[in-house]
Amino acid sequence: MHTVVVGTSGVTASDVLAVARGGARVELSPEAVAALAAAREIVDALAAKPEPVYGVSTGFGALATRHISQELRAQLQRNIVRSHAAGMGPRVEREVVRALQFLRLKTVCSGHTGVRPEVAQTMADVLNAGITPVVHEYGSLGCSGDLAPLSHCALTLMGEGDAEGPDGTVRPAGELLAEHGITPVELREKEGLALLNGTDGMLGMLFMALDDLDTLYKSADITAALSLEALLGTDKVLAPELHAIRPHPGQGASAANMLAVLKGSQLTGHHQDDAPRVQDAYSVRCAPQVAGAGRDTLAHARLVAERELASAVDNPVVLPDGRVESNGNFHGAPVAYVLDFLAIAAADLGSIAERRTDRLLDKNRSHGLPPFLADDAGVDSGLMIAQYTQAALVSEMKRLAVPASADSIPSSAMQEDHVSMGWSAARKLRTAVDNLTRIIAVELYAATRAIELREGLTPAPASQAVIEAVRAAGVEGPGPDRFLAPDLAAADAFVRGGGLVAAAEKVTGPLR
């Protein structure tokens, strides 16, 4: 099994995905262990002094003015974990929790948190044992870190609360630790706080969304090309010289992808046939501009994610010169903004895909295709309600595009009076990504059927490869009405699993 080694300088996006989605093992580098020990010496020295130090010998948040005596400090650290593990609602996905655990471990290993090496090793052991803390949907405001979600993870390290074992069964965390020979941690000064104070949940979900959307934007370029073909549109608008004079990188990449898919098609360029057109509708002609803007938003979000991944987010932090300083680096605004930006871009990509689907189904705008792509229109309804489903998904995506990061709600007796809502932005983006996958699947279903109905005209080799692959995946072609839900589910699985991109790239080579 793949192993990710965590040092002091951070990890990569592929490391996050390998641990969260691939179940990769985690090891601490000798460098990280040494940094952990050095930072802990600083915290221990401060803990021995009579002067109060935030997070070491004081309460937290609005209670930071109370100096905590040494005999109560272990209890203080246990209590912050227990009291902050206050999540409610459904469980979040296993991959999200593994990303949360791993990213917190990454920051702990930076040597800026003051956590003992043995605590970090226990965090790695829990990940490697496949023990996944039960984390709930609600509890993070995206400021002072993803507090409740991280607290549920820390609770598992203490052998308390519930967790999911490697077999998928939820059991008491203490039992799971014992079965895997893991000793629960006994937290000392600052350690409880250090385990809770980060943007790890929202960042993990951002990396997974970027991974998913990278595939979905290529998928959308393919389905847009198929729809253009099915509508007998022109590929002249995809010429590189047209996109060179408006040099947005994403636009150029999307146009190049569509052109690669359409190479060799006999369906394009029929504007002057029986129903002459000067130009195609915006949903067809402007596909690269819309998808390209989304691609550029992805690039910006990836830059922010990489910067956050290189950060050590905690409060207070141990600095190289030995100071332990309070700060506001836990505020999730940078990550929250791009999570919202991606939801907006995804909603627009879904919207333009739905408009192309609707055009394929409308006999007045489809340039010779049967109404609703039905076998016997009137007796058959064809894909009428498949488009309804797609429209419902688009409508929800527009609601999900309302930014969470524009909101704030005061907490902690007004000490934490402005929060990022980044966790909420991440949660709704995951729903948006799921919906976008389904929307693209419906366009794929309609466009492939429409191309097959263009008898006597040969589609591009890449288009033909897609049609053959999607039919092999269990999505049936034209014919009388049938139970559509299984076909739509198969199309969704085909897109979601990367089958659409893989089928096209067998002909085009790697798409951009």
Task: Judge whether 501 and 507 are in contact, CB under 8 Å.
Answer: no
54, 217, 337, 445: which is the annotated catalytic residue?
A: 54
Which residue, chain included where needed, has tokens 């790697």? 510
Partner residues linked to 209 by β-bridges? none
Helices (H), 263-286: 282-285
Exposure class string for 384-412: b at 16+ Cβ within 10 A, else e: bebbebbbebbebbeebbebbbeebeebb
What is the pairing mode between strands 136-138 and 170-172? unpaired
Tokens standing for 16? 């996050």
Exposure class string for 307-326: b at 16+ Cβ within 10 A, else e: ebbebbbbbbbbeeeeebee
Type of residue found at 387: Q
Task: Judge whether 386 and 488 are in contact, CB under 8 Å.
Answer: yes
Q: Among 187, 141, 225, which residue's Cα sits nearest to residue 440? A: 225
> Using the 8-state DSSP alphabet, how is residue 58 labeled?
B
Tokens standing for 506? 């067998």
What is the pairing mode between strands 162-164 and 132-133? antiparallel
Q: Among 263, 269, 264, which residue's Cα sits nearest to residue 232? A: 269
138: annotated active-site residue: no
Tokens standing for 61? 């948040």
> Using the 8-state DSSP alphabet, how is residue 458 labeled?
P
> Using the 8-state DSSP alphabet, how is residue 247 labeled?
-
Contacts of 222 (CB under 8 A, 6+ apart): 257, 261, 444, 462, 466, 500, 501, 504, 511
Contacts of 392 (CB under 8 A, 6+ apart): none
Q: Among 417, 415, 505, 401, which residue's Cα sits nearest to residue 463? A: 505
Residues with catalytic roles: 54
